[in-house]
Structures are given as structure tokens and as C-alpha cells.
Structure 1
Amino acid sequence: MSSPAGRFARREWGPLLTTVRGEPAVRRWTAVPLTLAAVCLTGLFQFVQNQEWGYGPVQAIGAVRAEDPLWLALLRTPLSLFVPALDLPVWGALAQVLLVFGIAELCLGRWRTLGIAYLATLCGTLYARVGIALGPGTPFGLPASDAQVVDTGPSAAVVGLAVYVCRRERAYWTGAAVVVAMVVEAIVKPNLAGKEHLAAIAGVLVLMAFQTWRERGQDEPGPRPGTRSWKPPIRS
């Protein structure tokens, strides 16, 4: 007889492990081309921006600040996902991308993973502007000085993907733990990055709610023959 911990682990992570183990056995590393590209881009940008000749170009193509014009921020957002923060260890960012992007790509596919990653990143980027407009006197506001903070890195995308994959693979407790951890981070260290993580989670939760609503609408049975609202199919 298995222990309660073992039953919980199988119930929580069983579907996820089945998906992750099944795909690489067939295609190995070719199953995660997006993840490998993201890791290589993140490492490349980290190397280049630490060179005297490379800092300026990387900032020009991938550094997003709330004080920038919106069109410029949106133009830089795709590459900003792969520009790691200068004040944080790059190995942490690379490990996050490899683990979370890899699992997401195996579970969701390449394009859905990329779409959700950019949705989460964009939610964080747009929130920074809203938070600064609200001001520091509100729970979701930010000080005006945060407009000059460089907003880069894959962390918002990683958090958003983690929550989405947990819901998709029914690892509900793990997803809840990610959300709680981000809330605690924002409370203990109320900076731009922490609140952007919450904005990324909020964007992904809205997406999941919309998908659930649409799926339920598709599952609802239509009018039955013999009722007033039923109409026979038109034959050509």
C-alpha cells in the first residue's frame, strides 16, 4: 500500500510526468527546439551585454522601460524576454528557461508556449505603465522612479507558463504554490519585478478563464429535434 505522500505525488504530477517522459523518448532534444533557442539567446545576450561594445546594442533592441514610448516598448518586447537582468545570476535565468520552457513545450507545443510566454511578458510590461500612473499610494501602484527601471528577462514568462502548465496537467496544488510564492515575493519585496510577476499571472488566469468558458460553450448540447428552437439541417 502506497503512502499518502506517494498517492499525492502520483495524483499531482502523474499526468505531467507522463507527458514529459513520453515525448523525449521518441525525439529527444529535437522535441524542444524553442527551449534550446531560448537558452542560447539568453546566454548570448548575457555575454554580449557584458562587453563594452555590446551593452548599448543590447539595450537598444531589448531593454524596455516604462518611460519609453509605447510603440518602442512593444517593438522591443519580443527580444526583452531573452535579455537577462544584469544584477541577477544568469545561471538562474538559464535554468528557469530550460526547465519551465522545456516542460511547457512538451506539454503545450512550440507555438502555444511562445504565445503564452509573450502574453505574460506583455502583461508585465503594460502593468508597469498602469502602476506608475496609479502612483505609490495605491496597492497596485508604483513610484515614478520605476519608469526608469530596465524591465528585461524571462521571469514573467516563466511564471506565466508554470501556472498555465500546472492547470493544463491538473497539478493544481503546484500551480497554487507558484501563485502564493509570487504573492509573498511582492509583499516582502514590493518592487517592479514582483508586481510584474503578479500581472503576468493575472493575464494567464484571464486566458485560462476564457478558454474554460469557450470549452463549456462548445460542450453544451444544442436544441433537440422536436423542440421549437430546433431546425432541420439545410441540405444543398
Structure 2
Amino acid sequence: MRGDTEARERSGGPEPAVVPVRRFVAVPQTRTSGGAEHGLGRFVRFLGRNLLREFRVVIVQPARTLVRRGLSGVALAIFASVAVLTLHAVDQSPTGAALIRLTSHVRGDIPLPLVLLRTPLSLFVPARDMAALPGIPVLFLGVALAQLVLGRTRTVLVAYAVSLAGTLSARVMIELGPRWWGLPPDAAQVIDTGASAAVVGLFAHVATVKRAPVLFFFAVTPTVLRSLHKPNLAGREHLVAITVAVLLGLLATRRDPALREAERPA
């Protein structure tokens, strides 16, 4: 035995120690839905905060202004509604129809200076293809909300600006002819009256200024879809009016960021 040990020492030293081999077994891990649930919770809280903010700036604050100012806070809406009903009644008689045609009808083949003179009154003449009475609630709501949120002066300026932009753009489209985004020559004979472009423009402007996507979705998006589906003169003017209203809203909030939250005088 001693000889064997000495022989091993002379040849290479002691025997190496036996190292146990560890085997690692992969244990399948189950994914937890904590991250997804956390993300969903954050989205729900974000949506809730924005809906609450939009409810406050689009409904609560205008309602407070209406309570404080009374009917004077919606004087423009009352005036516009009464003017539409009055001109609609006048238009029912031959004499009244001739008077309205000479003072408020706007077409693409009328000289531009005459169009500029007739445009303010043309806003209160119901369009030929639309009934007057069903549009009164929408007209009243759009103008009333705009006056309560934006104030009387800004409401008038925005309504006139978007309507005039739509009228002038229609003349350009007629000049382009029946090509892409143009209109056929017979569109110059279409009577262009009504407050629909002004109303949808006011909704779009208020939604842009107040960062109110829900208001924009329900009040503006249907008009956009109808205009794209039926690309006639009125539809094109509505798209232009909405675009101009949004641009004016972005410009207004850039100059006065407090306009997004602050209550405006009626």
C-alpha cells in the first residue's frame, strides 16, 4: 500500500477529487398579467381624467355662465334661431322669395363683391335641400355653446370666417373643374345658403380650443363622413369650414394657452 502511494506521488500527485455535476432543470414560468393590468388601469384613469375635464369645460362651465348671465348668455343663439324661422316664413310667399333671392342667395356665378355683401344674410336662409325646423335645435345648441365658451365677439368672427372660407373655396373648386378636389361647372348654379357650415365650424372650434375629443367626435365627425361620402358643393364647404375652424382654434390656444380652461365672457 505504501509503495502504491509513493508511486502515485512520484507519477502525478494525489488523485483528483470527484466534483459532483449539477444539472439545471428549466422550470417553465407562467406569465403574469400584472403589466397588462397596470397599463389598462393607467389608460382607464387617463380616460376618466380627460372625460371629467372635458365635462367640466364643455358642460359645467358653460352652464355656470348661463346661470350667471341668463338669456343674454345665449342671445346670439336666440337671434339666429328667430332669424332662420323668420326668413323661412318670408320665403314661402312669391314676393318674399324674390326678396330673399335678391338679398341673400349666393352662387358661384355671382360676382365676388355681391357675394361678400350677401354672405352675412345668407347664413340665416335655410338651404333648399334641408328642412328649417329640424335644424333649429342643432343651430341653437352650436351657437349657444360657442357664445358661452368663446364669447359673443369670437363666436361671430369664427362663424363668419368659416362660412366665408367655405364660400370662397367653392368658387376655387368650380374654377378647377371636375378634377381631383374640383367641382363640375354646374355647381356654380347651386344656391349656397344656410348656417350648417358655420354651426359645424363652431363645434369644431370649441372642441379644438377646449381639447374636447368627445365633442369633436359626436358633433363634427358625422359631418366629415357625410361630406366624404357625398362630395358635393355643401360637403366640400363643410370640410373647408371644419379645417379653418380647427386652425383658428390651434392659433387661439397658442396665443392664449389659458383659453383651454378659463371661462370666457358671454
TM-score range, shorter chain: 0.7 to 0.9
Contact 2:174 2:185 in 1 (8 A): yes
Contact 1:136 1:143 in 2 (8 A): yes
Pair 1:189-2:230 in alignment: yes
Sequence identity of aligned pairs in percent? 39
Change (3 A) 1:32 1:215: closer
Q: Which amino acid aligns with 1:55?
A: A
3-state SS in 2 of match to 1:170: coil
Change (3 A) 1:23 1:209: closer
Contact 1:93 1:154 in 2 (8 A): no
Q: Distance in 2 between matches of 1:120 and 1:87?
A: 21
3-state SS in 1 of match to 2:107: coil
Q: Distance in 2 between matches of 1:171 and 1:102?
A: 17
Q: Which amino acid aligns with 1:142?
A: L
Contact 2:108 2:170 in 1 (8 A): yes
The answer for the alignment partner of 1:226 in structure 2 is none
Instruction: Pick one of 109, 123, 137 that aligns with 2:179.
Output: 137
Contact 2:209 2:249 in 1 (8 A): no
The answer for the alignment partner of 2:33 in structure 1 is none
TM-score, normalised to structure 1, is 0.83
- In the TM superposition, what are the counterparts of 1:52-63 in structure 2 within 5 Å? 52-63=94-105
Instruction: Pick one of 44, 54, 68 that aligns with 1:26.
Output: 68
Q: Distance in 2 between matches of 1:196 and 1:15?
A: 28
Q: Distance in 2 between matches of 1:212 and 1:37?
A: 28
Unaligned 5+ segments in structure 1 are 217-236
Instruction: Pick one of 243, 247, 264 that aligns with 1:206.
Output: 247
**More deviation, 47-56/90-99:** 90-99
The answer for the alignment partner of 1:41 in structure 2 is 83
Q: Deviation of residue 3 (structure 1)? A: 9.7
- In the TM superposition, what are the counterparts of 1:103-118 in structure 2 within 5 Å? 103-118=145-160
Q: Deviation of residue 20 (structure 1)? A: 1.6
Contact 1:84 1:90 in 2 (8 A): yes
- In the TM superposition, what are the counterparts of 1:93-112 in structure 2 within 5 Å? 93-112=135-154
**Which has the higher Rg, Structure 1 or Structure 2?**
2
The answer for the alignment partner of 1:127 in structure 2 is 169
Q: Which amino acid aligns with 1:162?
A: F
Q: Which amino acid aligns with 1:10?
A: L
TM-score, normalised to structure 2, is 0.74
Q: Distance in 2 between matches of 1:121 and 1:190?
A: 17
* Cα deviations by residue, 1:126-185 (Å, 9 ceiling, x for unpaired): 0110111111121x2111101000000000000110011112222123324544323311
Q: Which amino acid aligns with 1:201?
A: I
Pair 1:71-2:113 in alignment: yes
Pair 1:15-2:57 in alignment: yes
- In the TM superposition, what are the counterparts of 1:77-96 in structure 2 within 5 Å? 77-96=119-138
Q: Distance in 2 between matches of 1:102 and 1:208?
A: 17
Instruction: Give the superposed CA RMSD.
Output: 2.2
**More deviation, 194-203/18-27:** 18-27
Change (3 A) 1:173 1:24: closer
